[in-house]
Every structure is written in C-alpha cells, then in structure tokens.
C-alpha cells in the first residue's frame, strides 16, 4: 500500500475527488492547508534571501491506495490537475506498512 499526500489548488478538489472515485477509492482525508513551494514570492534573488515565506491556501488530500493503482492515479493527477503554471501542487508518496479498521480490528489492504 502507498500513502499519497496530494497538495493541490483548492479549486481542483472536485477534479481530484472524481479521479479517486473513478479508481474506486472513496476513502480520503481532506484538510484545508497553507503551503509554500519553491516560489516564496516573485521577487528577485537578492530580495528572496531576506523574504518571509509566503503561505498560500492549499488543500491537502491524504489517501492510501494499493501499489498496483498508484501509477494510474499519479498519471491522471498530472493530466487533469496540471495547469502549466507554478503552484499546481505536489504529491508525496510513502509506503504504508499496515491499516486497521478500529470497529472490527481487520488489518491490511481489505480495509481500504
Ligand atoms: N518539501 C515540502 N514538504 C512539505 N510540503 C511541501 C514541500 N514542498 C511543497 N510542499 C507543499 O506543496 C505545495 C505545492 O507547492 P507548489 O505547487 O508551489 O510546488 P513547487 O515545487 O513550487 O512547484 P511549482 O514550480 O509548480 O510551483 C506547497 O504549497 C506546500 O503545501
Ligand atoms: Mg511553487
């Protein structure tokens, strides 16, 4: 299993949800976030060294998927969420070693 932490523009949330549901994942955690990537602001290099980090509103979607579904989901995110402009977001991928449904104690990928 892989955990995808998907940081996106707020207006892209519906598109992302459609991608996940189409790939048969309804389980997701969505959080309003503030973030900063490479561009602190549009200032020149000398200004950048003294500038404060400029946080912008983002949406953070956390979802855990099967290994075999990850590439298709990443491809669709790139195809449908890239505007070509800076600030489109980032996906962090990490390994998940186990999952448990608290109600039943079930473990592993059947919980997804
Ligand atoms: N190293 C990081 N650790 C945690 N979160 C990060 C990191 N880098 C970026 N983020 C998050 O991802 C969001 C995506 O930022 P952004 O889209 O500006 O990425 P970028 O790498 O600057 O790419 P681009 O050049 O397309 O703007 C940030 O707002 C922040 O929430
Ligand atoms: Mg950026």
> In whole angstroms, how far apart are CA 55 and each of 44, 58, 85?
18, 9, 17
Beta strands in 1-112 (DSSP E): 2-8, 29-35, 56-65, 89-95
- Contact at 8 Å (CB) between 98 and 13? no
Q: What is the pLDDT of residue 106?
A: 98
Tell me which of 77, 78, 89 to substitute to probe ligand 1's pocket, judged by most ligand atoms within 8 Å of the beta carbon.
89
pTM assigned to the model: 0.90
Residue 5: which of 37, 34, 29 has the closest Cα? 29
- Looking at residue 3, the DSSP 8-state letter turns out to be E
User: How far apart are the CA of 35 and the centre of ligand 1, in A?
Assistant: 7
- Contact at 8 Å (CB) between 89 and 6? yes
Ligand 1 proximity of 88 Cβ (cutoff 6 Å): yes
pLDDT in tens, the chain (112 residues): 999 999 999 999 999 999 999 999 999 999 999 998 887 655 566 666 666 778 899 999 999 999 999 999 999 999 999 999 999 999 999 999 999 999 999 999 999 9
């Amino acid at each position: 299993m892989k955990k995808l932490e998907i940081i996106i523009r707020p207006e892209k949330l519906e598109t992302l949800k459609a991608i996940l549901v189409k790939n048969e994942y309804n389980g997701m955690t969505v959080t309003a976030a503030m973030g900063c990537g490479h561009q602190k602001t549009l200032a020149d290099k000398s200004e950048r060294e003294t500038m404060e980090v400029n946080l912008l509103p983002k949406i953070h979607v956390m979802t855990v998927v099967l290994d075999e579904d990850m590439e298709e989901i990443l491809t669709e995110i790139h195809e449908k969420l890239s505007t070509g402009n800076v600030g489109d977001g980032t996906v962090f991928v990490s390994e998940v070693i186990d999952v448990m449904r608290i109600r039943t104690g079930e473990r592993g990928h059947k919980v997804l």
